[in-house]
Chain A
C-alpha cells in the first residue's frame, strides 16, 4: 500500500531481455496497481509482447525482478524464477494472445472448463474420484460450469456455449479468450491487443467489459493495445515503450501531451500533421 491507498500488484524492476545480440527490452521498470488498467503502448517492435512473455513465463528474462503480490495473501511471487505454467497455476496471472489461441475443436463451454483445470483436477482426486463419478467431483464440475456460464453471460456468448470455438466470428473469439482467462480466477490479467480487428461497436463493448472486470472483480489489468480509442478511454495509467526502453509513464492526459511520445510515434519529421493522420490509422 502506498500513500494513496492503492495496492501495487506487480512491480517490475530493471527488466532486460536480450536475444543474442538483440536487446529487446532495456532496463524497464514499472508498477501495475490493483483495480487499475495499465496500458503498455509503443510502436511496432517496441518490446511490448516481450514484456508479456517475460511476465507469463514464456521467456526467462536476462535481468530483472518481477514481483507479484496478490492482495490479502501477503505472499510474494517472483515471476522470473517460476516455470511457465506455474505462473498461471500459483501466481494466478492470466493472459490472452495477440494471435488468438483458443482450442478450436472444443466447444465454447469446454474452453472455459479447461481453464479451470487445476481446481477440477484436485476435486477429481487426480482422476480417481472422477473416474468412479464421486459426488465431490460432480459438484465441482457443476460449479465450474456455473462460473463458465457467468463469464459467457458477461461476454455475451452464452447462446453459443455449445458451438465449437473455431467456428466463432473473430470478435467473439477475442471475447471468448478473455472469458477463458477470467475463468482461471486471475489476480492480474494480461491482454495482448484485445481490440485488434474489432469494429468500433465491438471496441466499445470491449471497453465496457474491461471496465466491468476492473470494477467488479478488483483485479489488475495489463493491456497492450494499438487502438488509441481503447487505450485513452479506459486506461488509468500508460507506459510507453520505444526500442525496448521506457520513454514515458503516466496518466492518459500526460501521455497525450508528452513530447517524447509524440516523437516516438510520429518521428522527427517536421511535417507532423500528415504523419499524425497516418498514425491515427495504424495505431
Chain B
C-alpha cells in the first residue's frame, strides 16, 4: 500500500498567482517599515529611502512562496497517509517521539540539568548558569500554569499576578520581619494560593474568552496595586535589599561573621562567588522538579482526572456528581501556589523587585511556553522554555532583529505543529490484558 504514490498535476498559474499575492502583502508591509528610514538632518528629522531593500524583500517573498507552494504540491503523498484525517494526525503530533523516547529524553535532560554546573567548559560559566536559572524559572512557571491551562482547561492570562504575590510576599516579610527564605517560601505559596481562590470565585461561571479577559484584568489589578500602594510596596521604586537565601543557615558571603560560619568556611572551600550562583540554580531546579513531580502524581489521582474531565466537558462532570466549584478552585489555587514559590525565588535571586517585572508580557510569555509546548505536556514546557527563553538569549547578537526572529520562530512552530510541540497525552490508568488494543489514547486532544 505504501508504495502507491499519487503525484497531482501542478498548476503553475495558480502557484504564480499565490506568490504574487504574497509578494503584494510583503510590498505593503515593507514600503513603510523597510523602505523609509528616519535620519537626523540639520533642522530636524528627514527620510532616507531604501527602495532596493524593499525590492529585495518582495523578490525573496515571491520566490520563497513559489518554492514553498511548489514543494507543497509536488510532495509525494503516500496512500497510507490518507488513512487518518489531517486533523487526526495533527492531534498526535510529537506522539511517536514521546512514546518511544520520552523517558530517555526526560532522563537525559534531568541528568544534564543536574550535572551542568560541573561539566566544565562553556556550561560552567557564570553567564551560562545564570541563563539556565532564568530558563528554569520559566519551566517552573510553565509547569504551574500547565495545571490551570493544560489540565483544567482554564485559560489564565493573569498568571504573573501570582508570581508577583509570591515575590512581594517574600520581599516584604523578609525585609520587615527578617524572616528567612525557608520560612517565607511556604507562606508565599499559601498567600498566592489564596489569591488564586480570590480570582477563582468570581470567574467560576466563566469559560474560554470571557475567563481570559477577567484573568487578564486580575493580573493588571495586582500590578497596579503594587505600583500605587506606595507605603507598603514602595510603588515604582520597588523593594531593594532583599536578603539572599542561606544554605541551611550558612550564608554565601565572603566576610565571615564573628561567631559563626559561612558556606565556604564550613565546607573548607575557598570563597567563590560562583557558590551562590550554583546554589540558586539548584534551588530553582529542585523547586521546579517538585512542581513536576506533583503534577505527574496528581494527574493520576481523582482530582487530576476531574481537572481533565472538566476541561473536556463541564456538564458531563456535573452529571457524574463532580463538584465543579471545588475542582476549579483547587486548580486555580494549586497553580497559583507554584507561581508563588517561583515568585519568592525570583525575589531572592534578584535582590530587587519592582512592578516592572510583572507586566502582562510575562503572562503572555508563560502562556506561550505552555501552548507552544503542547497543552498539558510536561516535556513540552521544558523544550518550549529552552527555545523561547534560551533562544532570546542566543539571538542577543542579532540586536534589533531579535524580536523578529522570536516572532518568526513562534509562527513557524504554530504552522508546523498547531497543537504545540508535544500534544501527546498518556492515559493515567491502563487496563492490562491480552485482548486489549494497544494504548492509543492521546488521539484526542491533549
Question: Within 8 Å of chain A (Cβ to Cβ): is B435?
Answer: yes
Q: Which residues of A contact B317 (CB under 8 A)?
A: 85, 114
Whether A158 lies near B436 (C-beta < 8 A) is yes
* A248 at interface by CB-CB < 8 Å: no
| Contact of B431 with A by CB under 8 A | yes
A118 and B321: CB pair below 8 A? yes
The secondary structure that dominates the B interface is loop
Chain A residues with CB under 8 Å of B430's CB are 107, 109, 162
**Which A residues lie within 8 Å of B294 (CB)?**
131
Which of A85, A101, A110, A148 interacts with B427 by CB under 8 Å? A110
Q: Do A88 and B320 have beta carbons less than 8 Å apart?
A: yes
- Contact assessment for B316 and A56 in the assembled complex, using a CB-CB cutoff below 8 Å: no
With most chain A CB atoms within 10 A of its CB, the pick from B320, B437, B446 is B320
Given the interface pairs A117-B322, A121-B303, the reply to whether A102 lies near B427 with Cβ below 8 Å is no
Contact A109 B322 (CB under 8 A): no
Selected from A145, A160, A166, the residue in CB contact (under 8 A) with B437 is: A160
> Is residue B74 within 8 Å, beta carbon to beta carbon, of the partner chain?
no
A163 and B441 form a contact (CB under 8 A): yes
- Taking CB atoms, residues of chain B closer than 8 Å to A57 are 318
Cα–Cα, bound, A23→B1 (Å): 60
Bits for B305-332, please: 1 = Cβ < 8 Å to A, else 0. Answer: 1101100110111111111100000000
Choose from A113, A118, A126, A164 the contact partner of B305 (Cβ within 8 Å). Answer: A113
B429 interface residue (CB < 8 Å to A): yes
**Please, which residues of chain A bring their CB within 8 A of the CB of B298?**
127, 131
A94 interfacial contact with B, CB 8 Å = yes
Residues 106-141 of chain A, each 1 if its beta carbon lies under 8 Å from chain B, else 0: 111110011101101100101100110000010001
Question: What are the interface flags for B290-301 relative to A under an 8 Å C-beta threshold, 1 for contact and 0 otherwise?
Answer: 000010011011
A116 to chain B, nearest CB (A): 8
Q: Specify which of B306, B323, B441 is in contact with A162 (CB 8 Å cutoff).
A: B441
Please determine whether B321 and A184 come into contact, CB atoms closer than 8 angstroms.
yes
CA of A114 to CA of B300 in the docked complex: distance in angstroms? 11
- Which B residues are in CB contact (< 8 Å) with A275? none
State which size class the interface on B falls in: 35 or more
| Of the residues B300, B320, B443, contact of A166 by C-beta under 8 Å | B443
A85 in contact with B321 (CB, 8 Å): yes
State how many angstroms separate the Cβ of A93 from the closest Cβ of chain B: 9
What's the minimum C-beta distance from B439 to chain A, rounded to whole angstroms?
5
Question: Which of B302, B324, B445 contacts A120, CB < 8 Å?
Answer: B302
Q: Is A267 an interface residue (CB 8 A)?
A: no
Instruction: Evaluate whether A105 and B445 lie within 8 angstroms (CB atoms) in the complex, with A84-B318, A86-B321, A130-B302 already known.
Output: yes
In the bound complex, do residue A163 and residue B425 qualify as a contact, i.e. CB atoms below 8 Å apart?
no
A154 at the interface (CB under 8 A from B): no
On chain A, the residues within 8 Å of B443 by CB distance are: 163-164, 166-167
B440 within 8 A of A: yes
In the bound complex, how far is the Cα of B321 from the Cα of A88, in angstroms? 4
Q: Given A131-B297, A163-B440, does the pair A109, B429 have CB atoms closer than 8 Å?
A: yes
A residues whose Cβ falls under 8 Å from a Cβ of B: 56-58, 84-90, 94-95, 97, 101-110, 113-115, 117-118, 120-121, 124, 126-127, 130-131, 137, 141, 145, 148-149, 152, 158-167, 180-181, 184
Q: List 7 contacting pairs A-B, 8 Å CB cutoff, sorted by A.
A: A102-B316, A106-B444, A117-B322, A130-B301, A162-B441, A163-B437, A164-B441
Q: Which residues of B contact A (CB under 8 A)?
A: 294, 297-298, 300-303, 305-306, 308-309, 312-313, 315-324, 425, 427-431, 433, 435-446
